């Protein structure tokens, strides 16, 4: 099969959000810390009526309805998430309800877990399935997303919620460049979830940032090697029309794009473009993760390219926050929505990162019009139809989630009127911890 990639993409996000400027005041931090310092605008969150099963049910149902996907045409369905409800049963099995009722139970794939990277691993599994002898000619659906919540403190404004669903198959308009990939994985405790009785992770913010930047360095240079092998020419940012990043918060994405240019500089330090970086030539890359002068120099050098190549893919990450596994793919949908058919013929470099850690860089090209996706997803209208909630209500809602986490034999108490019409929601958890869903 040729041009394996994405035919359709949809996102489900909660109707409720908190504004970062409101949260700054409520938290008593300096004005601008979350909006300018982190680069975030709003943060989506959900109450006790929503969980990862209902979010994923909504994302897949909406994808199939909007794009007329025949349930029989799906041969693989994979979920990437780190929002775990059940230590054994996968989110994927819950989604089988949507297919079994149409007589299709022959669908391979389960959940893939590693922080924000599961969605990328799920996507890569689907692509590799289609390139293998096990492929039976059917399409795949890849689901990627999370409910990201942090305990009170500096990490809380970097939460978010949303789930992306993608229809993957051959002859796709958004086609992955096969054999181009740079992978970096290692064992580190930058962000992890050892507390089974809590939704919150343990996170070492600064360590996670250095891990993220180290992963950029490794993935970018390894991706370059595969590019050079395939195309017999040197790779640098000039070959990239657009770049997408896993986005914990926008400021890190700005720095990360600069970090890619730093890698070009390390390969060609004498290029006249890098005049202003000469004093960094002999400093080891691992000693520069928090070098603010270098950071500033790189952000300055990439300012215009950032506006043209990166900013168009940042809408959802700024509006929803970090959707963990969904983040990179919310970037893809933002870019599609913003640029539509202008993307035809363009290469998009993508960097995906999950703490712990697992990361890769890969790329795709758009080779056919995609404006029908923009129309069907109707992103900006849907974002505009959300409800802005006060930081007090947001904080109370997270407290309710804390109390409800892991509970059995209960009926959620949030009003279903806080949800978008037609959404699946959690109606009840029985004594045995089995969950039931209804639709508004
Ligand atoms: N106006 C403008 N900028 C401001 C203001 C202000 N009033 N106040 C602070 N800032 C800037 C700071 O200078 C800093 O900028 P810099 O990053 O360029 O240095 C930025 O805002 C953040 O301020 P810090 O004091 O560094 O923030 P803090 O340490 O309180 O928290 C952190 C930030 C570590 C990212 C925290 O939110 C966190 O732990 N988040 C979760 C971890 C995370 O997202 N890691 C990323 C990769 S792993 C993953 O995806 C989960």
pLDDT digits (tens, 9 = 90+) for 281-336: 999 999 999 999 999 999 999 999 999 999 999 999 999 999 999 999 999 999 99
Q: Which atom of ligand 1 is nearest to the CA of 295?
A: 18
- The single residue of 116, 211, 219, 325 carrying the catalytic annotation is 116
**Phi, psi angles (nearest 5°) of residue 135:** -70, 135
pTM exceeds cut of 0.90: yes
Instruction: Spell out the per-residue pLDDT of the chain, length 440, in tens.
Output: 999 999 999 999 999 999 999 999 999 999 999 999 999 999 999 999 999 999 999 999 999 999 999 999 999 999 999 999 999 999 999 999 999 999 999 999 999 999 999 999 999 999 999 999 999 999 999 999 999 999 999 999 999 999 999 999 999 999 999 999 999 999 999 999 999 999 999 999 999 999 999 999 999 999 999 999 999 999 999 999 999 999 999 999 999 999 999 999 999 999 999 999 999 999 999 999 999 999 999 999 999 999 999 999 999 999 999 999 999 999 999 999 999 999 999 999 999 999 999 999 999 999 999 999 999 999 999 999 999 999 999 999 999 999 999 999 999 999 999 999 999 999 999 999 999 999 99
Nearest CA to ligand 1 atom 37: 155
User: What pLDDT shows up at residue 106?
Assistant: 98
**Residues in CB range of 122: below 8 A, 6 or more apart:** 78, 79, 80, 109, 111, 112, 142, 143, 144
Q: Is the CB of 280 under 6 A from ligand 1?
A: no
Nearest CA to ligand 1 atom 16: 37
User: What pLDDT shows up at residue 349?
Assistant: 98
Q: Is the CB of 248 under 6 A from ligand 1?
A: yes
How many angstroms does the Cα of residue 37 sit away from the middle of ligand 1?
6
Q: Which atom of ligand 1 is nearest to the CA of 24?
A: 7
How many angstroms does the Cα of residue 248 sit away from the middle of ligand 1?
10
7 is catalytic: no
Nearest CA to ligand 1 atom 27: 154
How many angstroms does the Cα of residue 206 sit away from the middle of ligand 1?
9
User: What pLDDT shows up at residue 188?
Assistant: 98
Q: What is the pLDDT of residues 38-67, one digit of tens each?
A: 999 999 999 999 999 999 999 999 999 999
The ipTM assigned to this model is 0.98
Among 40, 205, 288, 327, residue to substitute to test ligand 1 (most atoms within 8 Å of Cβ)? 205
- Percentage of residues of the chain with pLDDT beyond 70: 100
Nearest CA to ligand 1 atom 38: 155
246 is catalytic: yes
Nearest CA to ligand 1 atom 39: 205
User: What pLDDT shows up at residue 281?
Assistant: 93
Q: Is the CB of 30 under 6 A from ligand 1?
A: yes
Nearest CA to ligand 1 atom 6: 33
How many angstroms does the Cα of residue 188 sit away from the middle of ligand 1?
20
251 is in an annotated binding site: yes
- The single residue of 10, 24, 82, 295 carrying the catalytic annotation is 82
208 is in an annotated binding site: yes
224 is in an annotated binding site: no
Structural domain count of the chain? 1
Mean pLDDT of the chain: 97
What is the CATH classification number for the domain harbouring 208?
3.40.47.10
116 is catalytic: yes
* Residue-number span of the structural domain to which 134 is assigned: 5-439
């Amino acid at each position: 099969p040729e041009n394996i990639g994405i035919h359709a993409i949809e996102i489900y996000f909660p109707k409720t959000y908190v504004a970062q400027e409101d949260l700054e005041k409520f938290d008593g931090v300096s004005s601008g810390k979350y909006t300018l310092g982190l680069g975030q605008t709003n943060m989506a969150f959900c109450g006790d009526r929503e969980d990862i099963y209902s979010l994923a049910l909504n994302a897949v149902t909406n994808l199939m309805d909007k794009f007329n996907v025949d349930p029989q045409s799906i041969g693989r369905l994979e979920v990437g998430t780190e929002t775990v409800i059940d230590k054994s049963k996968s989110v994927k099995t819950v989604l089988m309800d949507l297919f079994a009722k149409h007589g299709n139970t022959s669908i391979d794939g389960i959940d893939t877990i590693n922080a924000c990277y599961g969605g990328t691993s799920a996507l890569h599994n689907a692509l590799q399935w289609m390139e293998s002898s096990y492929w039976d000619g059917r399409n795949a659906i890849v689901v990627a997303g999370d409910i990201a919540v942090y305990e009170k403190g500096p990490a809380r404004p970097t939460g978010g919620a949303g789930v992306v669903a993608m229809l993957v198959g051959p002859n796709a308009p958004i086609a992955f460049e096969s054999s181009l990939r740079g992978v970096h994985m290692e064992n580190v405790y930058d962000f992890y979830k050892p507390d089974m009785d809590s939704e919150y992770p343990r996170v070492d913010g600064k360590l996670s940032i250095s891990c993220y930047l180290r992963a950029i360095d490794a993935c970018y240079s390894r991706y370059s090697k595969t590019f050079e092998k395939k195309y017999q020419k040197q790779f640098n940012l000039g070959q990239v029309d657009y770049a997408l990043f896993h986005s914990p918060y926008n400021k890190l994405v700005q720095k990360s794009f600069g970090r890619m240019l730093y890698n070009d500089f390390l390969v060609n330090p004498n290029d006249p473009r890098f005049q202003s970086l000469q004093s960094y030539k002999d400093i080891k890359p691992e000693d520069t993760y928090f070098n603010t002068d270098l950071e500033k120099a790189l952000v300055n050098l990439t300012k215009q390219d950032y506006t043209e190549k990166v900013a168009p893919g940042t809408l959802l990450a700024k509006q929803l926050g970090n959707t963990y596994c969904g983040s990179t793919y919310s970037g893809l949908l933002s870019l599609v929505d913003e640029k539509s058919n202008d993307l035809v013929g363009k290469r998009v470099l993508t960097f995906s990162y999950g703490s712990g850690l697992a990361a890769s860089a890969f790329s795709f090209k758009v080779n056919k019009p995609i404006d029908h996706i923009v129309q069907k997803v109707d992103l900006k209208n849907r974002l505009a139809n959300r409800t802005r909630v006060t930081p007090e209500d947001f904080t109370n809602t997270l407290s309710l989630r804390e109390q409800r986490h892991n509970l059995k034999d209960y009926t959620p108490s949030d009003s279903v009127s806080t949800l978008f019409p037609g959404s699946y929601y959690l109606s009840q958890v029985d004594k045995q911890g089995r969950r039931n869903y209804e639709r508004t």
